[in-house]
Copies of this chain bind each other. A is one copy, B any other.
Amino acid sequence: MHSPVRSQPQCSAIAMPAHAGEVLFLEADPCDHVYELRRGIARGVYISPEGERQITGFFFAGDQIGLPLCDRYRFTAEAVTDLLYIRHSRLHWHDALIRSCTEDGRLHPSIMAEQDQIFRRGIIVGRNGVLARICAFLMSIVDHLSMDADGALLLPLPQIDIAAYLATSPETVCRALRQLREMHVIAVPRRDYIAITDRARFEAIANGI
């Protein structure tokens, strides 16, 4: 069966743009495409039947979003910042999977990466104490953040989204960040920037003191 409509051979050559807030795909849509993020940050959003909004994960450059493990997307994907992404067809991704399976003898790394992320959020949200949750969350994404000249990390995530990820309220996130600032564990030199000033204590809090 050859690819129907969207058989762009140059498919992976052109990165498409998306503006902040834009929707890549909706929950329960048939997963016909895998989105490979090239630049920017995206979020996975799950909305319960009554409108409770949870963020199931954040995606960074290099991540694959919306793997077709089942027929329909389990969450909605939205751009947090402006994006560049590439859209692979489901079949193309499936071929790559089988190739990686038979050649390397291991599963496509993106499957593990996706599951790892979901698993990690479960553990983080399962902690009690907002300080621990925030520090654990920041630790889990710190490797994906770009560092400024003076050592500050660019963190372009609205606190609303952090709250939705950590299953708490924006006010609580704000207060927790202030507390960390007053403890001299982190610093916020500029808007959207954060610096970890006391790494040891930071990790201690993340792991539950």
B-binding residues in A (CB < 8 A): 46, 48-50, 52, 54, 56, 69-70, 74, 94, 97-98, 101-102, 105, 107, 111-112, 114-116, 118-119, 121-123, 125-128, 167, 207-209
Contact = CB atoms under 8 A, between A and B. Distances in A.
A101 B91 CA distance: 12
Contacts of A46: 123
Contacts of A167: 125-128
A48 B207 contact: yes
A40 to B, nearest CB: 23
A74 B126 contact: no
Given A56-B122, A69-B112, A114-B115, 13 more contacts: A48-B123, A48-B127, A50-B208, A69-B111, A70-B112, A97-B101, A97-B107, A101-B101, A111-B111, A115-B118, A118-B118, A118-B119, A128-B167
Contacts of A127: 48, 52, 167
Nearest to A119: B118
A100 to B, nearest CB: 11
Nearest to A127: B52
